[in-house]
């Protein structure tokens, strides 16, 4: 295995270096060939590193940046103010070939705008999409996109999302092509809005996507589809609603067992399988949404990610570097575009 | 308490009279002043009634209908074929004053189209909305609308949904006006699509709605807002996604305790609170979405509702009859329209 380099925006997220630095150290332990470039405030990063006895880690380099992009900054403003910021410099490292991927838990709109500006889209890509895997009932995964990078889309854009999602999903599948579905408010052909109906008609004619029809919100976790496509508004609401419900259950469960130490012990004995299952539904396990369609790998972590969750986001970047995702998407899109034209 | 009459479409839903008839008998037990008109196939209904020893219930009348509207029927087709169907006759009973409300678990699109045709909208209402209550973390309720009656909306329509939802919510609140929010993909003002931004600007200027800003999907169950407004596509996906995740947890929980009878006994003894709490998150508890904005009460049950869930939908109709919801919505809308014009 050759060396891998990930550029980490150490200032992004609700907790900044308090979470990003321990996650970086954890990721270096997990991936022996990983190199990390940490972009951010040198003194804040060094304080964290020394408390972890990792000041001189051979595979970690700190690059001082004098400011960070705030969470409330508009994308257009972020573009103007980005020079020298931790997010911009982490993306520049990818654009200039110093890193293979960028990970940030910062402002999503700013990350999308800066990523498009620095890395550019792959040939033929109209708009990059934010994608993440969600767990399915059968123990598998379903890739859901777009998760909020594009608040409104046309049918062509959704079609491209289907192609890009398919390429990502097939890296983890063997024996059959990924089943692609559109998220809709009914399973019958007549249901839905014009956008979904137009895209359904395009997908059902395409030889490049194994389109299986519509899925509804309650089927997202059934494992009926490997890739589920929707616009960014719907995808974001759906993913965040899932997180809300999952956290409600996890909290109820924790509360029921935490008040009484003996109950807790018995609960652990009774429900060890359930604890594992519930943990597997914890949104943090699936942290790390990828921006697909760019000439480089960019992974967006939850702003509220804890150390384990951010480590998972870095893991996602490593995974995509090894699988050369941007090159594979580019090849497939070229093929799809050629097929449409001839 | 005066008598209440509910017209029930006995053929609607995945199980037809097998569920609707036992639910009717159950509802009559629960509400001593309730009268029920059951519309559907006389022989199928009578078979169910006799198996429940309720053939001659003094508060239950069967009205034979020779057909039912199928689940895959398009709304336009349903309108043409509706004459004599169980759904249409149940709605006609409300339009003609023979019943105070209609309950159906049938085809949502058809129910919406037929309800608009038979009952008509209240003065000033652009489009009726489908609304339901969801449980919140603090033990309260949040009303979410629209849930799929309108796949695309403009800002005026969303504004009306906010007014109508507010009227419904305030029936169960005292001491403060309902807090109304828009469902969005971020809490900052700059986030979201044009529709949400335009409606936010209207709501923040309106003295008739206590508008508190945006909520995100993960905050739906936090009890931050009493009414959450969105278009029907987004609302349907969000509600169904919630149901999918809740069912996943409930199933995991059941599976963990059902495999071992001794475990089940200990679990029930130790974790009765948790069982209750998890049961309270069961979507069936909240079955019964109302079509708001019509000159009559129409409650839509889940197609897959079981007996308990359908009984809850009938209970929702009783509740709205007692609170005279359509008259209250009409008064408020008149007030809002007057205020806008003068």
pLDDT tens digits for range B180-233: 999 999 877 667 888 999 999 999 999 889 999 999 999 999 999 999 999 999
Question: What are the phi and psi torsion angles at A327 (to 5°)?
Answer: -65, -40
pLDDT score for A280: 66
SS3 B11: coil
Handedness of CA B269, B272, B273, B277 (dihedral sign): positive
CATH (one of 1.10.760.10, 3.30.70.270, 3.40.718.10, 3.40.1380.10) for B134-284:
3.40.718.10
Best B78, B158, B185, B193 residue to mutate vs chain A (most A CBs within 10 Å): B185
- Residues of B with CB below 8 A from A138's CB? none
DSSP label at residue B193: -
Minimal CA separation from A217 to chain B, in Å? 4
**Angle, CA B105 vertex, CA B101 and CA B111 arms, to 5°:** 65
How many Cβ pairs closer than 8 A exist between chain A and B? 167
Per the document, the length of chain B is 342
| pLDDT of the residue at A2 | 54
The complex's ipTM works out to 0.88
Residue A57 has pLDDT above 90, yes or no: yes
Predicted confidence (pLDDT) per residue in B104-116, tens digit: 999 988 999 999 9
> Which of A61-75, A182-196, B314-328 has the lowest average pLDDT?
A182-196
Chain B partners of A153 at a C-beta cutoff of 8 Å? none
Quick one: A1-125+293-324 is in which CATH superfamily? Isopropylmalate Dehydrogenase (3.40.718.10)
pLDDT at A247: 82
Give the pLDDT of residue A283: 64
Burial class (CB in 10 A: 0-12, 13-18, 19+), A211: buried
- Locate the domains of chain B by residue range: 1-125+293-325, 134-284
User: Between B25 and A273, whose confidence is greater?
Assistant: B25
Residue with tokens 């942290």: A287
Kindly determine whether residue B238 and residue A238, on different chains, have CB atoms separated by under 8 Å.
Answer: yes
**pLDDT score, position A149:** 87
Is B72–A188 a contact, with Cβ atoms under 8 angstroms apart?
yes
Burial class (CB in 10 A: 0-12, 13-18, 19+), A276: exposed
Q: Which of B286, B317, B315 is nearest to B299 (CA)?
A: B317
Does pLDDT of A46 surpass 90?
A: yes
Packing angle between helix B261-270 and helix A261-270, nearest 10 degrees?
150
CB-closest option in B183, B221, B236 to A185: B236
Polymer length of chain A: 342
Neighbouring CB atoms inside 10 A of A94's CB total: 24
- Which B positions 184-213 lie with beta carbon below 8 A of chain A? 185-186, 188, 190-194
Q: How confident is the model at residue A42 (pLDDT cuts 50, 70, 90)?
A: very high
B87-104 pLDDT per residue, tens:
999 999 999 999 999 999
Sign of the four-CA dihedral A309, A315, A320, A323: negative
* DSSP secondary structure letter of residue A247: H
User: Does position B12 have pLDDT exceeding 80, yes or no?
Assistant: yes
A98: left (phi over 0), alpha (psi -120 to 50) or beta: alpha
Looking at residue A139, its pLDDT comes to: 80
Residue B284: per-residue pLDDT: 67
How distant is the Cα of B341 from the closest Cα of chain A, in angstroms? 33
A74-133 pLDDT, tens digit per residue, is 889 999 999 999 999 999 999 999 999 999 999 988 999 999 999 999 998 988 999 999
- What is the C-alpha separation between B309 and A116, in angstroms, rounded? 49
Strand B210-215 to B179-183 pairing: parallel
Element (H, E) at B8: strand B4-9
DSSP alpha helix (H) spans, chain B: 17-30, 42-51, 75-81, 86-95, 108-119, 155-170, 194-205, 232-258, 261-270, 272-280, 307-322, 325-341
Q: What is the pLDDT of residue A151?
A: 85
Percentage of chain B modeled with pLDDT above 70? 92
Mean pLDDT value of segment A39-51:
97
Rounded to whole angstroms, how far apart are CA atoms B16 and A335? 50
Identify all chain B residues contacting A259, using CB atoms and an 8 Å cutoff.
none
- Average pLDDT estimate for B269-275: 69
Question: For residue A214, what is the enclosing H or E element?
Answer: strand A210-215
- Structure confidence at residue A80 (pLDDT): 93
Give percent of chain A above pLDDT 70: 93
Q: What does the pLDDT look like over B258-267, one tens digit per residue?
A: 777 777 777 7
Q: B261 to chain A: which residues are within 8 Å by CB? A: none
To which residue do tokens 């304080």 refer? A47
Statement: A132-284 belongs to CATH 3.40.50.620: no
d(CA B213, CA A240): 17
CB < 8 Å from A in window 262-321 of B: 263, 266-267, 270-271, 273-274, 277-278, 281
Task: Write the CA distances from A279 to A220, A248, A305, integer angstroms.
Answer: 18, 13, 15
Q: Cβ separation of A217 and B233 shorter than 8 Å?
A: no
Strands B4-9 and B101-104: parallel
Overall average pLDDT of the B160-176 stretch: 91
Beta bridge partners of A243: none
Say what the pLDDT of residue B1 is. 41
Q: Note whether B144 and B134 are within 8 A (CB).
A: yes
> A1-125+293-324 with A132-284: one CATH topology?
yes
Residues of B in contact with A148 (CB under 8 A): 185-186
A66/chain B closest Cα distance in angstroms: 25
Q: Is the pLDDT of residue B281 over 70?
A: no
* Tokens 């996906």, located at residue: B237
Q: What is the pLDDT of residue A51?
A: 95
Topology adopted by domain B1-125+293-325: Isopropylmalate Dehydrogenase (3.40.718)
Mean pLDDT of chain B: 90
Beta strands in A141-226 (DSSP E): 141-145, 179-183, 210-215
């Amino acid at each position: 295995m050759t060396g891998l380099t990930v550029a980490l925006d150490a200032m992004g997220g609700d907790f900044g270096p308090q979470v990003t630095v321990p996650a970086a150290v954890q990721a270096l332990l997990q991936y022996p060939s990983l190199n990390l470039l940490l972009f951010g405030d040198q003194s804040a990063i060094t304080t964290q590193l020394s408390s972890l006895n990792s000041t001189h880690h051979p595979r970690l380099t700190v690059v001082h940046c004098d400011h960070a992009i705030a969470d409330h900054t508009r994308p257009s403003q972020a573009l103007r103010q980005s020079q020298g910021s931790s997010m911009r410099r982490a993306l520049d490292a990818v654009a200039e070939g110093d890193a293979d991927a960028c990970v940030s838990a910062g402002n999503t709109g700013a990350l999308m705008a800066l990523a498009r500006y620095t890395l550019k889209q792959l040939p033929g890509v109209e708009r990059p999409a934010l994608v993440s895997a969600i767990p399915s009932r059968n123990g598998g995964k379903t890739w859901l996109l777009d998760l909020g990078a594009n608040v409104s889309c046309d049918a062509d854009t959704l079609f491209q999302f289907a192609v890009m999602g398919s390429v990502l999903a097939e890296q983890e599948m063997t024996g059959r092509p990924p089943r692609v579905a559109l998220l809709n408010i009914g399973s019958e052909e007549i249901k839905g809005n014009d956008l979904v109906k137009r895209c359904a008609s395009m997908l059902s004619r395409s030889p490049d996507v194994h389109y299986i029809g519509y899925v509804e919100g309650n089927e997202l976790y059934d494992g009926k589809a490997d890739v589920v496509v929707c616009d960014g508004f719907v995808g974001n609401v759906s993913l965040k609603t899932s997180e809300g419900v999952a956290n409600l259950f996890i909290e109820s469960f924790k509360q029921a067992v935490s008040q009484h130490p003996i109950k807790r012990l018995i609960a652990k004995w009774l429900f060890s399988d359930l604890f594992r299952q519930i943990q597997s539904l914890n949104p943090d396990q699936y942290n790390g949404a990828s921006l697909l369609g760019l000439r480089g790998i960019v992974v967006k972590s939850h702003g509220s990610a804890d150390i384990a969750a951010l480590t998972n986001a870095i893991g996602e970047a490593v995974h995509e570097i090894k699988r050369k995702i941007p090159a594979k998407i580019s090849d497939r899109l070229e093929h799809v575009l050629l097929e449409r034209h001839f």
